[in-house]
Structure 1
């Protein structure tokens, strides 16, 4: 579980998620960087960044489901 706080940056959230799901840490960090570029940089998301975000979201959902099943069977 990741604690979310008001004012949390994308980078801070990525570090917390990466600590909880280490095998997705690099992908989450890249999505956070893509967010920062889109929000604070010179433009929106590229199609590659959008696909990376969708893929990472799906991978994190799978990790969450796997953790829930593991906890339920413990």
Structure 2
């Protein structure tokens, strides 16, 4: 059972020459893959957001209390 939007998309694509249909499908695959990737990222971010907020608060408190030390970026290069 297709939605009206899917039916409209099929109608639009079917009206195109085969070579163009293949190009549209390739673009749609890439676009859908990007959307799925973004959805996975948002899900992962939402799962860890409270932990990130807690870590940021802790870091801010440690810095205010003079317990933080500057990062030495030289070993990372």
What is the TM-score of this pair, normalised by structure 2? 0.44
Q: Bigger relative contact order, structure 1 or 2, given CA contacts below 8 A and separation 6+?
A: 1
- Of structures 1 and 2, the larger Rg is shown by 2
